[in-house]
Amino acid sequence: MEKQSRIEDVYTLSPLQAGMLFHSIYQRDSSAYFVQSAYRLIGDLNVRLVEYSLNELIRRHEILRTSFVYEEMDKPLQVVLSHRKLPFYFEDISNLSSKMEQEDRIEAFKKEDRKHYFDLVKDSLIRAAVFRISDSEHEFIWSCHHIIIDGWSLKTIEKEFFAIYESAGADRTPSLPPPVQYRNYIDWLENKPSSESAEFWKKYLLHFDAPSPIPRLLRSEEPESAFDNRVITFELPDTLHQNLLEVARKNRTTLNNIFRTLWGLLLAKYNDQRDAVFGAVVSGRPPQLPDSDEIVGLFINTVPVRVAFDAETGFGDLVRRVSTEAADSEEFHHYPLAEIQNASELKQHLFDHIVVFENYPVNAGLPGLKVGTETGKAESMLELIRESVFSQNHYPFYIIVGTKPVLRLNFYYNRELYAEDLVRDLFGQFCLLAEQAISQEAMPVDRFGLVEEDGKQHHWLLDEVNDTQKVFEPFPSVHSLFERTAATFPGKTAIRSEMGSYSYLELNGEADALAAHLIDQLNGQAKGKRVAILVDRYDYALIGMLAAARSGAAFVPIHPELPGASIRNILQGAQPAVLLTESTMLEHAEGFPGELFAMDIQLDMLDRSGKCPEVSTGPDDPLYLIYSSGTTGKPKGVMVSHGALLNYVSWFKSEFDFSQEYRGALLSSYAFDLGYTAIWGTLLSGATLFLPDKNTVRNPDSLLTFLLENQISFLKLTPSHFKILMASGKKASLASSALKLVLLGGEKINVSDLAAYLEINPSTQFVNHYGPTEATIGAVFHRIDPDNLDAYGRFPVIGRPIANAGAHILDDNGNLLPVGAKGQLCLGGKGLAIGYFGNDELTQQKFTVNARGQRIYKTGDRARRMPGGEIEFLGRIDQEVKIRGYRIDTNEIDQVLLSHPEVAFASVQPFEEPGGGYALTAFIQYRDDPDSGALLAFLRTKLPDYMVPGQLTAIQSVPITPNGKLDVKALRKMKQDNRAKTVIPPENDLEEGLLAIWQEVLGHEKISMDDDFFDLGGHSLKAVQIISRIISEFRITLEVKDIFDHTTIRQLAAEVGRQIGIADTGRSMEEIII
């Protein structure tokens, strides 16, 4: 009869035990923290002695007979039982027909065993099994929960097990020292003051405001299994290993610190930072605690490791700094990770993976160990020839580094989140950084590269993905191609507006006559000059553009709705020789020193009897000068050549089979190159360009009617403008639309708008088209697959370069970055602008050369290369802001908001607060009635708390600028005044009861019913405490994850009320309890 067990001791949990308990409760049906060790034993195994030896281990060490309780308690406790028998399984498989069948049976058992998760309250947290393969061969399998044991302890237990087994076989007592119990460590922890530890970690992580994640490049939204991990093992080449040991010796540090420095450097470079943090598992065995090395139990803890450097830091300096900080942190390794995270600015988002550097004090090489059950009898010897360990934690990516006999890196990764190629690349890049650290120790680490020069990946990134060379029919100038088009389609309508239409023959004639006039006015010296165009009628603008090009001058388009001061700034900067305008706009010409030409008066007066003199114009000559404010707010003029535009139009016509059959519409200003795809794409193809008036363009119903009545088959517009179109009450009529091709550019695409359109009319091809003015309209494109919109929404790539263009992702030092690494998008090829007019310094700063000596333009946009070669746009580098010390990109928040089904439009803007700093306001256009509470709850499930906007402002319509982009100034004017925050009191007994629990556990008196758990400093350990208190006081069944799903008292009260019946019956809390 089994001996009755009693409670021998009760005490609190260590920090990591508490964390493991939380994750085990939060994901009950998972293999998190399951450890399974398997040993192949050769020799005469006594199965009875195996079971006896294991039970002796349980008797020796209290932690092996411990359970964990947490329900209805203020805080979790571990309960030591006086007696606990090991669950033991034996199976004889010697009768199976083949070795393969035997191995399959063992593997099947292991997999099945891993599915039997431990109940931390009821189960023995260790179990064992033995399979008899033959008289002289056995498989021994030991499984346990990580909460009672760590790797250091596992090696101690292995050593003791074989000592007990050998002694028992010889009928003698094993010579083992008396065990030191885990309780000693818990007592030491409880007597250790926490304030000094908290202050250390707060100072250590001060100003770390942007996480350093491993890039997730797969298109899976959420993994089907949180623990579908794979492992790839790499061995560091011996020469590299020895050289790193020498670097460690020179810098008087450990190989562990060398590894930490290199890994942190790799993370920083992947995330376009000079500061990185990752998690490291430390032994946690305090030297101040006597015999801590001999105690069996969970000592390890996870702590952050920070690797920060500046532009001039050398590797030697960096590794010494990391080493010093590692030494300084040792006495604080026991501090709970949850509290460390809470002391940081990023809270639970501090890091997303961990590193384990194994350095056990006992012999890790158990294979080859020989023990005997009777001394001196060779036939009774038992040899361990193979050992394997399966372990699992809740991180989807972690690295275990072993050092004996070689430096081995084991990468564990969730295959639904991380690609195998990425893992292999990370190891290769780690080795490359190590080689640079060894050979170029004095070089600043900021200049280290991640791509081996002239290597395979270097060639792929620089050449293969940019293999866009294509030969098009040569034309010396834009007007020469237009003239041939006009000769080919003389009677076809070129442009049509409310003022009438022009055939190609008529349009060419008007342009020719005006060009002749310009040449005459400038005494035959128009070439090299500039002609400004400031008109209200867009047909006049097109005639002016063609005429300026024909005369040899570059045209300078100016939007007529700009403020007078902006118009004057452009005229002063461009110094045009001629201003083409209208009589109604002559007020802007006051003081203009050049020639004036009023199109509405003088165009009809031109002499059309002769032909315009020929002007020699080549591909490198300037075609137009466009001014934009840019990110600095200062107008800058970008000069673009004939050849650049010709290459773009030739690509556009070839790529989309664009011909005279198309009917395009210009929906943006002639003064911005967003509309130049429509203008030049149609006029240089023989197609017809429609010019709707501005009221039609801005009214969704009118615009839709216009598109349908004129059978428009091609559009180029911004996503904001497309959203306006989709806001039309008549959008169902799009089913009969003639639209074949829609290019979206200038902003991030809202996939939900595309989905709504394609449900109505699935025949339209949508293209994401990216390109700054400096790269001539568009340099990168991606055809959007309508059957894969969900995946595209997660990774809205802008695509690959157009013909004869190139795109590179570079770091601040011009180094090529690998797949997945964030950096600056730089463009090259025939589409690059000549430069900034009158600003050589800015031209030299922004236009540089790549590794091949080819000219490139630094866009100022952050991007990364995807595994297939496409580019993902990540926003402006200078668009990042700091909110309460956190560095964020508001574009990321926009995209999450737009993924909500009730959000039609979203733009998050930072606003300066009176007391300093910034706060976020989200401007939302809802599809139906606004529900800000539900939307905030949604955001908190998708974003870190520091990225959740403090205010949601509902708007009725989306303001756009004349060039079709979001009018941010107009949007910001809509901001409602921030109201002083009021504490919303509880409305019933249930909310009052929950409030009391929150106040006690979280340590806050003033808590509003809508305050978020995490905003109040909540974390996993406090979640366990709150749920335990609720279970105890309300006698219901709740899971820890319920507080993650219901993060305010109001939400949690609704869930608790649902369970106890208050919501359904209207009964009071007292009635329920009674």
Digit-coded pLDDT (tens) for 569-579: 899 999 999 99
Cross-strand pairs, 372: 381
- Rounded to whole angstroms, the Cα distance separating 496 from 510 reads 15
- Rounded to whole angstroms, the Cα distance separating 794 from 770 reads 18
The pLDDT assigned to 881 comes to 65
The pLDDT assigned to 362 comes to 41
Q: How do strand 554-557 and strand 765-770 relate by DSSP bridges?
A: unpaired
The pLDDT assigned to 129 comes to 96
Output DSSP code: residue 362: S
Ramachandran bin of 1029, using left for φ above 0, alpha for ψ from -120 to 50, beta for the remaining angles: alpha
pLDDT higher than 90, residue 296: yes
Digit-coded pLDDT (tens) for 781-810: 999 999 989 888 888 899 999 999 999 999
Digit-coded pLDDT (tens) for 117-133: 889 899 999 999 999 99
Query: Residue 896: which residues within 8 A CB-CB, separation 6 or more?
Result: 939, 942, 943
- Rounded to whole angstroms, the Cα distance separating 677 from 714 reads 10
String of b and e for 497-525 (b: at least 16 CB within 10 Å)? beeeebbbebbbbbbbbbbbbbbebbeee
Tokens (6 digits) for 684: 């240089």
- Rounded to whole angstroms, the Cα distance separating 196 from 189 reads 13
Say if residue 652 is exposed, middle or buried (CB neighbours under 10 Å; 0-12, 13-18, 19+).
Answer: buried
The pLDDT assigned to 1 comes to 43
Digit-coded pLDDT (tens) for 234-279: 999 999 999 999 999 999 999 999 999 999 999 999 999 999 999 9
- Rounded to whole angstroms, the Cα distance separating 560 from 537 reads 10
Q: How do strand 663-665 and strand 714-717 relate by DSSP bridges?
A: parallel
Which three-class secondary structure state does DSSP give residue 767? strand
The pLDDT assigned to 379 comes to 42
The pLDDT assigned to 217 comes to 82
Query: Residue 294: which residues within 8 A CB-CB, separation 6 or more?
Result: 156, 177, 179, 180
Digit-coded pLDDT (tens) for 404-436: 778 999 999 998 899 999 999 999 999 999 999
Cβ atoms 706, 696 nearer than 8 A? yes
- Rounded to whole angstroms, the Cα distance separating 589 from 872 reads 44
Mean of the pLDDT values across residues 507-514?
96
Q: Please provide the distance, in angstroms rounded to a whole number, between the alpha carbons at the two ends of the chain.
A: 43
- What DSSP letter does each residue of 259-296 carry, written as one string? HHHHHHHHHHHHTT-SEEEEEEEE----TTSTTGGG--
Token pair 């298109």: residue = 219
Domains of the chain with bracketed CATH: 7-187 (3.30.559.10), 884-973 (3.30.300.30), 989-1073 (1.10.1200.10)
Largest alpha-carbon pair distance within the chain? 123
- What value, to the nearest 5°, has the Cα angle with vertex 117 and ends 116 and 123? 100
Mean of the pLDDT values across residues 523-547?
96
Name the pLDDT band for 980 (thresholds 50, 70, 90). Answer: very low
Cβ atoms 748, 891 nearer than 8 A? yes
Output the average pLDDT for the chain.
Answer: 87
- Rounded to whole angstroms, the Cα distance separating 691 from 674 reads 15
Digit-coded pLDDT (tens) for 1001-1021: 888 888 888 887 876 777 777
Provide the sign of the torsion angle of the four alpha carbons 489, 490, 494, 496, taken in this order.
Answer: negative
Query: Residue 818: which residues within 8 A CB-CB, separation 6 or more?
Result: 425, 429, 450, 451, 457, 461, 865
Q: Where are the alpha helices (DSSP H) in 684-782?
A: 694-698, 700-709, 719-726, 751-760
Name the pLDDT band for 1035 (thresholds 50, 70, 90). Answer: confident
The pLDDT assigned to 629 comes to 58
- Rounded to whole angstroms, the Cα distance separating 540 from 580 reads 9
Picking from 580, 442, 581, 578, the residue whose alpha carbon sits closest to that of residue 522 is 578
